[in-house]
Structure 1
Amino acid sequence: MSASHTALQPDSATFAPQPGDALIVVDVQRDFLPGGALGVPGGDRVVPRLNRYIARFDECGLPVIFTRDWHPPDHCSFRQAGGPWPPHCIAGSAGAAFAPGLAVPAAAHIVSKAATPEADAYSGFQGTGLEALLHGLGCRRLFVGGLATDYCVRATVLDALAAGFSTVLLADAVRAVDVHPGDGKRAEQEMAAAGARPLSFERRRGARP
């Protein structure tokens, strides 16, 4: 078994939220669910799993941050502007809303990204002030889940690590686009190689995944 494969095994011992921790829920929006404008296969399955993490952090009084794409109608990532994607998550639209059933605590912080026509952003840290927010909240360790593994989750995790935060990937609460088969697994390997620790709530509970 290779070292990189070993690093990807979910760690059942790290889920003990404590002061200095924060949860980041990445882009769990209607347009990224199956049937949405840019649906992620199985994307709806992250909602109940994320809700368990959200409830735990909320009970502990720890920060919960939701990132979201918040694009103008003429965003540079859209195909009509020469980008790779169909129009999605247009600010204020139904598709940009958080997924049905996703628990958003009253005290949650919402971070909008890629909100101008000329700038794209996969990472929740890119042009949003998220790093300053986390430092202001006294955060040192981040737990990250959401959509999609091979794009916005990957970019957010890598930027978190580059900014010096200890980072945990919620391996049971992410799903990949997999434009090229295996993109999601390769993204997980890249995040692990960069220092992210994977975690599975189900394994911690001893339940079937």
Structure 2
Amino acid sequence: MTPPLSRLPDDPRVALLVIDMQYDFMPGGALAVAEGDALVPIINRLGAQFRNVVLAQDWHPRDHVSFASSHAGRAPFDNITLPYGTQTLWPDHCVQGSHGAQLHAGLDIPHAQLTLRKGCNAGIDSYSAFVEADRATRTGLAGYLSERGIDSVYVVGLALDFCVAWTALDARSAGFNTWVIADACKAIDLNGSLDQAWKDMALAGVTRIDSAALTS
């Protein structure tokens, strides 16, 4: 679906949200997404089209609750129950100050106005760039965008079925027109998570497009 002309990338009311393009999510990283590095040139081309760009960055303390290493006898990809609900346990990743937490050096969007760090609270995971996994703690992104007169977002990055999807769903919940650019994302696809993510996003009113729709 081609977005309405009033919401093309150079519209000042539009922002590109670039999610978690960090080394730990790249091939060879602690929580690698297959071919994640192949997105870098695509996202760079998209970034050049947008006036407004926000970069999201996972930024976990070493003892983060989402790490399997923080729970005796547990392994990565186990599920546990925390006060805020079910939590998938992950390998240690995107630890604050580590190489794995750094944004990919090839990412070239010099006009990005904000780098938003999420997952900083040791006791709460944070997939979404808008609301942490307790579904109560807000990152401030919705307010930032609204204060700047932005009412529409395009979402790209890693991983499609987790941080990208949660960000898109929360963008819709906050009232933003929301598109996910499918060919500018890669997924983990854990136990059917990719198919479920697309279904959830469609039900919420998130529009799925490819990058070609922005240049056609």
TM band (smaller chain): 0.7 to 0.9
Question: Gaps (5+ residues) in structure 1?
Answer: 1-10
Please tell me whether residue 138 in structure 1 is matched to residue 127 in structure 2: no
Q: CA deviation at 1:189?
A: 2.4
2:203 to 188, 193, 198: 193
CA contact (8 A) 2:39 2:185 kept: yes
TM-score (norm 1): 0.85
CA deviation string 1:125-175 (max 9, x = no partner): 123211111111111010001100111011100000000000011111111
Q: CA deviation at 1:19?
A: 2.1
Q: CA deviation at 1:43?
A: 1.1
- Is the partner of 2:61 in helix, strand or coil? coil
- Is the partner of 2:165 in helix, strand or coil? helix
1:51 to 35, 38, 44: 44
Q: Which amino acid in the other structure matches residue 139 of structure 1?
A: I
For 1:120 and 1:165, how far apart are their aligned partners in 2? 23
Q: CA deviation at 1:204?
A: 5.2
User: Which residue of structure 1 aligns with residue 23 of structure 2?
Assistant: 30
Of stretches 196-205 and 62-71 in structure 1, the one that deviates more from structure 2 is 196-205
Of stretches 144-153 and 182-191 in structure 1, the one that deviates more from structure 2 is 182-191
For 2:41 and 2:202, how far apart are their aligned partners in 1? 24
User: Which residue of structure 2 aligns with residue 6 of structure 1?
Assistant: none
Equivalences, count: 191
- Is the partner of 1:145 in helix, strand or coil? strand
Quick one: structure 1 residues 64 and 190, their matched pair in 2 at CA, closer, same or farther if it must change by over 3 Å?
same
User: Which residue of structure 1 aligns with residue 170 of structure 2?
Assistant: 159
For 1:205 and 1:130, how far apart are their aligned partners in 2? 27
User: Which residue of structure 2 aligns with residue 67 of structure 1?
Assistant: 56
Please tell me whether residue 123 in structure 1 is matched to residue 128 in structure 2: yes
Of stretches 70-79 and 102-111 in structure 1, the one that deviates more from structure 2 is 102-111
User: Which residue of structure 2 aligns with residue 4 of structure 1?
Assistant: none
Q: Which amino acid in the other structure matches residue 109 of structure 1?
A: L
CA contact (8 A) 1:49 1:173 kept: yes
Quick one: structure 1 residues 183 and 109, their matched pair in 2 at CA, closer, same or farther if it must change by over 3 Å?
same
Question: Gaps (5+ residues) in structure 2?
Answer: 72-87, 132-137
User: Which residue of structure 2 aligns with residue 7 of structure 1?
Assistant: none
User: Which residue of structure 2 aligns with residue 41 of structure 1?
Assistant: 34
Higher relative contact order (CA 8 A, sep 6+): 1
For 1:188 and 1:56, how far apart are their aligned partners in 2? 25
CA contact (8 A) 1:150 1:184 kept: yes
Please tell me whether residue 79 in structure 1 is matched to residue 68 in structure 2: yes
For 1:183 and 1:168, how far apart are their aligned partners in 2? 19
CA deviation string 1:53-89 (max 9, x = no partner): 10111xxxx2200111100111111112136111100
For 1:205 and 1:49, how far apart are their aligned partners in 2? 13
User: Which residue of structure 2 aligns with residue 105 of structure 1?
Assistant: 110
Quick one: structure 1 residues 51 and 107, their matched pair in 2 at CA, closer, same or farther if it must change by over 3 Å?
closer
TM-score (norm 2): 0.83
CA deviation string 1:31-60 (max 9, x = no partner): 001110000112112111111110111xxx
What's the RMSD between the two structures over aligned residues? Answer: 1.7
CA contact (8 A) 1:125 1:156 kept: yes
CA contact (8 A) 1:111 1:124 kept: yes
Q: CA deviation at 1:176?
A: 0.6
CA contact (8 A) 2:55 2:112 kept: no
For 2:139 and 2:164, how far apart are their aligned partners in 1? 15
